[in-house]
Structure 1
């Protein structure tokens, strides 16, 4: 079992650092502004919490790419709580067992937990880059993401979830490697969009 707690805390710190005047700013996710990226984090934190509890329904059946995510008015108070709940839900051994559903896809619990962690890693980096915040990522989470992303190298395996792998030097950091495997340019800045 992986612990999503350290990475969830990293993302919570970033959420706290988002200013209102940054909500319309671009992100490394081409179709998302900061507002929509936060909306995606809001939705995925709830969906993967439900997936861990095997509470399958509307929240786990929705394709996250079907429409742009909406950010509720109470996101500043609610999103940090949801990130804590997400981490807590995946501390249960039963979350990692059997099958569950997220994003309308049925998958093994073990893979769903890894996907949830990877979402926090990559979208944490996206949020940090878009808002000019420091981000290191939890080393254990970065290694888990690299392992998962390294296994899905073909375009077919990667599907529409990730862009093409970006080549980085062999001596790149764990964070740079994870980001590049997630189809992002590690040198991305809002002005290089």
Structure 2
């Protein structure tokens, strides 16, 4: 499994975000487009450290960096490169202060890229697709999560969708998001 495609799609979306929509809402409750971009930046830094089994940096609360248009895509590329190392997927690593199997952390990282890519695309009204294999891996991750993760507020309660819904819609729904979400007019 690689993160290259999901990271590249997120970077492409970032290039398309108009400044006028930075304050627009996203499917992530209480998070604006600027907040979501800041989250991409933070997750890129932290999950790159997770791949290298290093202590994670704590860049939270810094706000959206002025270099975000070039900086966040560059950091997403570094993130994908870090997880391209087979050693990143072996053994254990730390994720949000907990020791977890590295393969779980890698799939979690993929899930972050795919779901937040969808969030960003929806918020700025751009099309979004994800690789079927990536979606399948992310669905498997969310279906296997213990209830404690939902209790922590990491994901909301699953949203009902038809059994024949497209894979990406099923993934979005499993994360507690409404696949039909659109920004207010």
Q: TM-score, normalised by structure 2?
A: 0.93
Distance 1:11 1:30 in 2: 20
- The CA RMSD over aligned residues, in Å, is 1.7
Contact 2:49 2:55 in 1 (8 A): yes
Counterparts of 2:116 and 2:150, CA distance in 1: 17
Asked if structure 1 preserves the Cα contact closer than 8 Å seen for 2:149 and 2:155, the reply is no
Partner of 2:79: 86
Partner of 1:9: 8
Change over 3 Å in CA distance of 1:70–1:21 after alignment to 2: same
* Residue aligning to 2:39: 40
2:102 is aligned with 1:130: no
- Tell me the residue number matched to 1:180: 173
Structure 1 position 146 matched with structure 2 position 145 = no
* Count of aligned pairs between the two proteins: 184
- Aligned 8 A contact 2:91 2:101 in 1: yes
Asked whether the 8 Å contact 1:40–1:69 carries over to 2, the reply is no
Runs of at least 4 residues off by over 3 Å = none
What are structure 1's unaligned runs of at least 5 residues? Answer: none
1:52 equivalent in alignment to 2:51: yes
- SS of residue in 1 equivalent to 2:54: coil
Q: Distance in 2 between matches of 1:23 and 1:150?
A: 32
Structure 2 unpaired stretches of 5+: none
